[in-house]
C-alpha cells in the first residue's frame, strides 16, 4: 500500500489490452458524465495514475480544443505506454461504442417519423439541452467573482446566439482581448 503509483509503474508495465478494455469501460459507462467514470477507473480501480497526475491531464485537456474525455483517454494512454498506449486507449474508447452506437442509432432513426418515437426524442432533446446549459453554468461558478470573466462569457454567448456570428469570428475576435485583460488583471488580483 505504501508503494507509489510511480514505483509500481516501473515494475510492471500496463498491458496495451488492459488500456483498450479499461477505456472501453469508461466509454460504455459514461452516459452524460464520462469524466466521473474516467477518474473512477483510472485512479481508484486500476490505480494507473494518482489524483494529481489525473488532475494535471484534465487541466491540459480543458485548455485544448476537442472532446475533453478523448483527450484524457489519449494522455493517460500516452503517459503509461507512449504512442502505442495512446492509440490503444483511444481505440478502446471509440471503436466498439461507435460501431454499436451508429448501428443502434441508425435503426432508431429509421423509425424517427413515428409519432411516439418523435415524442420520446423530443422530450429527450429538451432535457439534453437543459443538461448542456447546466454544465455551462456549473463551469462558470468558479469564475463568478471575476466580473471580466462574466462579461466575456456573456459576450461569447451573445456573439453566437444573438448576432449569429461564425464561431471563428467569435473566438478569435474575443480571445486576444480576453487573454490580455486576464493578463493585466491577474498580477493585481494575486
Task: Provide long-range contacts, Cβ within 8 A and 24+ apart, for 117-124.
Answer: none
d(CA 184, CA 53): 30
Binding-site size for other proteins (CB under 8 A) equals 94
Closer Cβ to other proteins, 1 or 189, answer by number: 189
Closer Cβ to other proteins, 17 or 62, answer by number: 62
Among 55, 84, 102, 114, binds other proteins (CB under 8 A): 102
As a dihedral over the C-alpha atoms of residue 124, residue 170, residue 139, residue 178, rounded to 10 degrees, the angle is: 180
Is 84 near other proteins (CB under 8 A)? no
Instruction: Give which of 61, 76, 97 is closest to 18, Cα–Cα.
Output: 76
- Single out the segment in contact with other proteins by CB under 8 A; choices: 3-11, 12-20, 40-48, 152-160: 152-160
Instruction: Give which of 53, 59, 80 is closest to 71, Cα–Cα.
Output: 59
Is 111 near other proteins (CB under 8 A)? no
Least CB distance from residue 39 to other proteins, whole Å?
15
Q: Is 29 exposed, middle or buried (0-12, 13-18, 19+ CB in 10 A)?
A: middle
Is 74 near other proteins (CB under 8 A)? yes
Residues 86, 92 contacting (CB under 8 angstroms): no
Is 15 near other proteins (CB under 8 A)? no
Among 6, 62, 84, 114, binds other proteins (CB under 8 A): 62
Closer Cβ to other proteins, 45 or 67, answer by number: 67
Amino acid at each position: 500500500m505504501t508503494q507509489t503509483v510511480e514505483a509500481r509503474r516501473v515494475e510492471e508495465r500496463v498491458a496495451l489490452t488492459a488500456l483498450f478494455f479499461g477505456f472501453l469501460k469508461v466509454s460504455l459507462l459514461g452516459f452524460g458524465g464520462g469524466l466521473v467514470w474516467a477518474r473512477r477507473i483510472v485512479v481508484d480501480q486500476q490505480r494507473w495514475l494518482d489524483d494529481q497526475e489525473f488532475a494535471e491531464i484534465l487541466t491540459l485537456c480543458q485548455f485544448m480544443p476537442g472532446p475533453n474525455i478523448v483527450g484524457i483517454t489519449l494522455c493517460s494512454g500516452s503517459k503509461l505506454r507512449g504512442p502505442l498506449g495512446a492509440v490503444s486507449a483511444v481505440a478502446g474508447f471509440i471503436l466498439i461504442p461507435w460501431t454499436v452506437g451508429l448501428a443502434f442509432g441508425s435503426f432508431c432513426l429509421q423509425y424517427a417519423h413515428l409519432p411516439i418515437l418523435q415524442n420520446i426524442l423530443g422530450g429527450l432533446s429538451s432535457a439534453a439541452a437543459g443538461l448542456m446549459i447546466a454544465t455551462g453554468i456549473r463551469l462558470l461558478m468558479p469564475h463568478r467573482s471575476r466580473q471580466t470573466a462574466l462579461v466575456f462569457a456573456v459576450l461569447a454567448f451573445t456573439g453566437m446566439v444573438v448576432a449569429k456570428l461564425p464561431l471563428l469570428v467569435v473566438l478569435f475576435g474575443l480571445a486576444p482581448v480576453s487573454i490580455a485583460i486576464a493578463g493585466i488583471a491577474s498580477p493585481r488580483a494575486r
